[in-house]
Each structure stands twice: as structure tokens, then as C-alpha cells.
Amino acid sequence: MLSDLPTELTEHITGYLDVNTFRSFRLVSHSLNQQSLHQFRQRFFRTRTVAWTTESLDKLTHITSDLYFGKCLRDLIIDATPRFAIRLWELEKGIIEADLQQDQARRNDVQVRYSEVEARFEHSKRFWNETRHDRKALTAVFEHLGRLQSIVFAYDGMKKNFLLFGRRYCESSQNEMSRPFVSTMAAVAKSKLIVQTISVDPTRRYGAVSTGRLESLSPLLVVFDDIFLGLKGLKMSIRDWRSPDDGFEMPTGKASFLVRFLAKLRNLESLDLSCFSSLEENVLSEMARHCKYPRLRTCRLHLFRVPDTKDLLHFLEPAHAWLQSLTLCHCIVRDGEWSQVMIDIATELRLGHVELSDLFTRSGARVGFDGTMRRTLVLEGPDIENQLIFQSGRLISGNWGPAWHLAAVAYPFIGLHT
């Protein structure tokens, strides 16, 4: 009989059952229920995905309040896809196509659907702003848990045929796309949750957080000093589409909120940061002055302007004894040459892995490696210093491939189906 099987064999069998079959299995007998309880917890309660709806958030609250299963959660995945923004763009494209085809009936039908979605979107925004239900629900969950291993933000993207509207989509979707991250961080601060890593899903990575929305966390900034002492890994994308012509001039003599937020992460061991700002060009310079990560082992910087070659080394210098891996992708040197950057990395750091990809010069030209139009250079092993110095003398530049700034709007599209 099944109930006579050893617990080890029972756990092995239940490792292949889907959730519905597992439920039926547990109802066979009290003995089987007890034998499979640990496996049931580990498989279906350790990781949870929550959508940004009241139903999903309330379900998470209900599950985590359970006396036995509640505190099993270790990895929380938050679906931060801006579904209203995506749907509105799809419908707007339908209106444009109907106009081109002079199909008035189709245009009227799509326009009605557009108005309905727009109305639901406005109602959703008012609901979250007025009730703060998302922050309250997550705060209650985090207070009960006390600790998480990871919080992962997942973003589905747009289809490639929307690429020409990339900048407008990015601007229009930022509030909806940023809310889950900002509200989650506010809940982390309110609940004093200890979390080990905060990251973006490696496969559903087509999203970013608006700097303007991030600044709403300013009243809570001091709380992160203690909470983020346990944060070991951060992977996030930041976008700032504001313009100084619109009255958003940066204050002088004060670091940006983004940099002050990042400065709280003093025990980081892994940093993967993508950062584009049309308002502020010296983010890396500010990070070099204010962000000290002495335990950093892996670092990936994407979409950074490098105002001065010394800024990069100044930023990495506190971690010179620990840093093992460095990746620079879609970066542009505003003052100095990439050859000098490579020499400085070789002489000042002791790395086991270096990846340089899609680099640009101050004039906007693309850098080619090994005397060719090759866009990526990957070096590993104990001889990186000599390899970097050798390759620093074999760089060329030219106007091939997409411009540097286009990567700033690529995140909703790259790798998606047509």
C-alpha cells in the first residue's frame, strides 16, 4: 500500500506531481498527508508569483497568514508588466491602421474599446493612489514573514512591430511600470523586511523603474540604512525621460535621489545596473563619490555615460580586493579614451572575468575590438592584465550599428516575437 512506503520514496514520487494531483494524493490518507507535507510546502509555497491586482495581492496575504504554510515563502516574483499601457498601444495602432484603410466601422469599434480600457486604467490609478492597498497588503505580508531570500520583478514586453514608438511607449508606461517596484520598496521599509536580493527576471526583463517615481520614496530613505545591510544583490533598470526644459532642473550641490538610494546598499556583493537619464549625465560620477561597495564581487554597468575615465576606477576602487567580474555594456566615454580605461582596469584591478560590449566614443562612434568591427570582447583567466593591455592597442571606431541612445528604449522589444 502507498501508506506503507518509506517517507523518502513518498517524497520522490510527489516530486513529479502537479498541484491538483498532489492535492488528491494528500487526501488518500492521513499518513500520506503527513509524509508529503514537507514536499508540498517546498514545491508550492516557497516561491510565489503575484500580479498587480487586488485579487492576487489579497490571495498572497491569505496564504502567508496560514499558520503552517505562511512562513514558507522565500522567493517572491512580482509581475510588474504595464498591461494597460500595452493594451492602449495595441488599440491605438489599430486606430491608425483603420484610418489608413479608411475603414470607419473598424475605427469606431477600436475607438470604443480604447475608451473602455482608458477608463479602467484611470479607475485603477485612482484606486491605488487613494487606497494604497498594494503597500498595505505587502506591508502585512512582509511583517509576517520578516525575511525573504529574493524579490524578483518580471516584465513582459511589447511586440517588435511597435519599435518605432519605443520612446513614446517608454514615457507613457513609466508610472504603471514603476508602481510595483516603488510600492514594494515602501512596504519593505515600513515592515523592516530583510531581503537578500532584489532583481529583474532574467527572461521577463522588459521593464524599468522611473527615476521620478523612485523619488517618492524620499521620506523613507533613512529607514533603508539598516534594512539594506542584508542586501547582497541588486539588479535593476532605471530610466529618466524628464527634460530640464520642462522645469526639472537638477539642484546643484546635492546628489540625485537615485544615487542616495544606491548609497544605502553598503554590503552589495553583486550589482547589475542599467541607467539612462536624459536629465542627468553624471550619474556615474556621483556614484563614484557617494556609493562605496567594498564587498562587491561582480559588477555590470549598462547604458552609462562615463564623464571621466577616472570616475569608473574611483567607483570600483573600494572593491579592488574582492571584485572578480566586470561587465561594461552600452557605455560611452565622454572624456578620455577606451584604450586608457582598459589599461587602468588591467593595472588597478585583479579580475577573473571582463566583458566589454557595445562601447561608444564621445563622438558617438562605435568601438570595434581586435582591429575589426567586432562589438564584444570577453576575457577570462589569470592573464587578463596582459590581454587587456594588448587589446587596448587594437581598438578601432566607426559609425556602424545602432546609435548608443537607442538601447535606452530597446527593453520592451529585444528578443520578443514579431
pLDDT at 9 over 60: yes
Q: Based on the fold, state whether residues 34 and 70 are members of the same structural domain.
A: no
Query: For residue 116, is it within any domain?
Result: no
Q: In this structure, what C-alpha cell is assigned to residue 153?
A: 520583478
Task: Return the pLDDT at 92.
Answer: 86
Task: Return the pLDDT at 158.
Answer: 83
Q: Which residue type does 338 have?
A: W
Q: In this structure, what C-alpha cell is assigned to residue 363?
A: 563622438
Q: Based on the fold, state whether residues 27 and 51 are members of the same structural domain.
A: no
Q: Based on the fold, state whether residues 241 and 284 are members of the same structural domain.
A: yes
Q: Based on the fold, state whether residues 61 and 200 are members of the same structural domain.
A: yes
Query: For residue 418, is it within any domain?
Result: no
Query: For residue 203, is it within any domain?
Result: yes
Q: Based on the fold, state whether residues 197 and 267 are members of the same structural domain.
A: yes
Q: Which residue has better confidence, 20 or 236?
A: 236
Q: Based on the fold, state whether residues 37 and 53 are members of the same structural domain.
A: no
Query: For residue 177, is it within any domain?
Result: yes
pLDDT at 68 over 50: yes
Task: Return the pLDDT at 418.
Answer: 44
Q: Based on the fold, state whether residues 288 and 179 are members of the same structural domain.
A: yes
Q: Based on the fold, state whether residues 35 and 60 are members of the same structural domain.
A: no
User: Which of the residue ranges 53-62, 99-108, 147-156, 214-223 would you say has the lowest mean pLDDT?
Assistant: 99-108
pLDDT digit string, tens, across residues 159-203: 777 766 677 788 888 899 999 999 999 999 999 999 999 999 999
For the residues of 91-129, what is the DSSP string, one character each?
HHHHHHHHHHTT-HHHHHHHHHHHHHHHHHHHHHHHHHH
Mean pLDDT score, 278-303: 93
Q: Which residue has better confidence, 370 or 21?
A: 370
Query: For residue 302, is it within any domain?
Result: yes
Q: Based on the fold, state whether residues 49 and 34 are members of the same structural domain.
A: no
Q: In this structure, what C-alpha cell is assigned to residue 300?
A: 555590470
Q: Which residue has better confidence, 290 or 72?
A: 290
**Cα dist from 249 to 71, 243, 260, 289, 371, whole Å:** 46, 8, 18, 21, 42
Q: Based on the fold, state whether residues 1 and 67 are members of the same structural domain.
A: no
pLDDT at 411 over 80: no
Domain count, the chain: 2
Query: For residue 23, is it within any domain?
Result: yes
On average, the pLDDT of the chain sits at: 87
Task: Return the pLDDT at 405.
Answer: 80
Task: Return the pLDDT at 35.
Answer: 60
User: Which of the residue ranges 96-105, 320-329, 409-418 would you say has the lowest mean pLDDT?
Assistant: 409-418
Query: For residue 87, is it within any domain?
Result: no
Range of the domain at 251: 45-79+132-409
Q: Which residues pair with 264 in a beta bridge?
A: none
Q: Based on the fold, state whether residues 286 and 185 are members of the same structural domain.
A: yes
Query: For residue 98, is it within any domain?
Result: no
Mean pLDDT score, 396-414: 81
Domain CATH for 404: 3.80.10
Q: Based on the fold, state whether residues 40 and 57 are members of the same structural domain.
A: no
